[in-house]
Structure 1
Amino acid sequence: MDDSGGEGESVRMFRAGIPAATIVALTGVPRSTVFRRIQVATDRDPTLLSDHTANRKPPPVTEAKAVPAVWATRVQEILDYRARTGCWPHQYSEDTKTRAMAKWLAVRLAAWRRLELPAGHEAWLDEQLPGWKQPSRAVRDAQRWVERLNQLVAFTMQTGSWPRYLGAADEYERVLGVWRHVQRQKLSQGILAPDQLAALDSRAHGWRGPTGQGRRDA
């Protein structure tokens, strides 16, 4: 089935509550294609996941699995962290324990979005950790920042160059070049978060240097 133009069949089926794995079986479309279409549609329309959840039939009781005992400890740590800071844990934090909490939550979120979270686990998390499916904008921004840093590091390792925002070879390089430029501006203005500065210094050596034509400093 072709999902080009408007909301395609795979996305309509997903919105109607049909699991992605079932869509693959019913349509014959490759699993990677179905998941990619759903992900793209979700990025464009955040209501897609809530519609899917609302329309999805509850799984048979026999499929339910017990929540691992260690989850209770991790959830309590996250609740304590939120009580202290008012925020969700960030993956770029200098604190090892905070990073571990953020990674644990990210894994659960990814499994839920892929519809791979075992039956019963979602309901338990909904009850024990309210709002876990909708991290704050600050958390989303923090996660996007880490993704950009990872992409910057990968780009420099692959090309031996800093990405350019003027005269970039493609849109991907331009986006990374702009991102690095913004971090340099924030540093000069004294508004770059300490955790982010430490991450840049430790992982992207020389990022503060002149942009030039995108060539890395010798």
Structure 2
Amino acid sequence: MIQIADSNHDEWDRMYAAGLPVPRIAELTGSRVGTIHRHLECRRNIDPDLAAARATAPRGPSKVWHRHLAELRDFIATHGCYPTIHGVADREAFLYGWLSDQRQAHLAQTLGWAKAREMGILGDWITTDLEREWDRRWREQFDRVVEFVAEHGRLPRHPKTTTEAEHVLGIWMATQHHKTLHQEILPWRLEALNNALPGWRKTAEVTLSEELHEQ
């Protein structure tokens, strides 16, 4: 792998080495084209590896790719959401397919640094629709647990419950404890539980211990 020497503008150098044209680098970094040109000219004189890296870089995003990215950005700004597979808005199905292709390329590590960098304007574009739905359902149950605690002054239990609703919430809490114990819970979910329900893990351990004792 070619190693590029230290620079005062590492980001410019990385973009240039990745194959981005200077005007695009200027647009992405909010810098002047002339300033970047002068910097790169000096860098090429003292660091031949920079030019070598650019020569071997894969082709950057095409004009068509940029057009699709801009169209997707405008769609998100207009509708307040990412396109879905069954969406009925104009061009939504196409944009969903295009976004899915970028996600697949990212997972396969074939998207390329330049495209990944530019996709950043879309926010959390990597998360799939299914994952968003899972997150939505998790937040719904989390909110119900928080409301239950506010009303009853304790966490929901199972199997010692008086209602089916508490039983469902109790099982959900036991699941969160299990996932935390086995380090399978997402960090943001664990943080939400710890912030909203201090001591919830200790309570879950006590409940589980009581349940095993009764069996």
TM-score of the pair, normalised by structure 2: 0.40
Structure whose residues are more often helix by fraction: 2
Determine which structure has greater relative contact order: mean sequence separation of CA pairs < 8 Å that are 6+ residues apart, divided by chain length. 1
TM-score of the pair, normalised by structure 1: 0.40
